[in-house]
Amino acid sequence: MAALGLAEHPLGSRPPAFSHTVVTRNIVYEDLNGARRLFGGRLMEWIDEAAGICSRRHCGMQVTTASVDTLTFKRPAHLNDIVIIEADVTYVGRTSLEVRVESFVEDLPTGERALMNKAYLTEVCVDDAGRPTVVPWGLELTSEEERREWEDAKKRIVFRKTREGEGF
């Protein structure tokens, strides 16, 4: 149920589970800011890395980050906390794809996860010269949640274009 036909994605489609990416980090001193919490820039780096890995897995090619939507820090992480970052492809266009990245801090005794951050990144599939190229794989939607994310992604695309047109 990809939006584009097979001619657009010559190799067919892959489900989001194919490229699902989980990155686990332990917060160390080098990750802390002056207030002794996880430095937001470090988390942004990890989010970008997870989105890139997820996108590369889906495309089977190199990608570059084109945009990052809404980084809202909902809760802090501290020294020795475990941070789990999960990335999934939510939409595939002609040369780009959208990846949802959720970051959690894990409670050690219980294993419960609390959401720290949720972001959507746009990754562009690039050839060896760094030029945008067709994403060879479409997205096979296998659940209602994946279909909802796809539809929501189309709304986010319109919103991004509107903001860009308005100079934001």
2 within some domain: no
CATH number at residue 133: 3.10.129.10
| Phi, psi dihedrals of residue 82, rounded to the nearest 5° | -100, 130
Asked if residue 144 belongs to a domain, the reply is yes
Range of the domain at 93: 13-165
Residue 15 CB neighbour total at 10 angstroms: 16
* Encoded tokens for 141: 């939607």
Q: How many domains does the structure of the chain reveal?
A: 1
Report pTM.
0.92
Determine, yes or no, domain membership for 3.
no
Residue pLDDT, tens place only, 141-159: 999 999 999 999 999 999 9
Q: Round to whole Å and give the CA distance between 83 and 132.
A: 32
What digits encode the pLDDT tens for the residues 48-107?
A: 999 999 999 999 999 999 999 878 889 999 999 999 999 999 999 999 999 999 999 999
